[in-house]
């Protein structure tokens, strides 16, 4: 997965999740190293799952592919 900047729009996607830190968006972004470490819930997890499934479908046997 390629590195990408964490934006305020990304934070808005997960702001309603329990455990989201109290603070300004700029401060949360400054504490984060997206897409690896975040000071908030991971807004990139959906993209990660899609990319992982795409890769696995290429390398798995047909029987295992159907289980995804």
- When pLDDT is cut at 50, 70 and 90, the band that residue 35 belongs to is low
pLDDT at 56: 84
Across the range 40-67, mean pLDDT stands at 80
Q: What is the pLDDT of residues 53-65, one digit of tens each?
A: 888 888 877 777 6
**For the chain, what is the HEC assignment?**
CCCCCCCHHHHHHHCCCCCCCCCCHHHHHHCCECCCECCCCCCCHHHHHHHHHHHHHHHCCHHHHCCC
Domain boundaries, the chain: 8-65
Range 35-38 contact pairs with CB under 8 angstroms and sequence separation of 24 or more: 35/1, 35/3, 35/4, 35/6, 38/6
């Amino acid at each position: 997965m390629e590195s990408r900047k964490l934006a305020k729009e990304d934070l808005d996607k997960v702001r309603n999740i329990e455990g989201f830190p109290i603070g300004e968006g700029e401060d949360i972004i400054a504490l984060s190293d997206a897409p690896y470490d975040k000071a908030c819930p991971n807004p990139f997890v959906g993209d990660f799952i899609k990319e992982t499934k795409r890769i696995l479908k290429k390398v798995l046997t047909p029987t295992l592919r159907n289980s995804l």
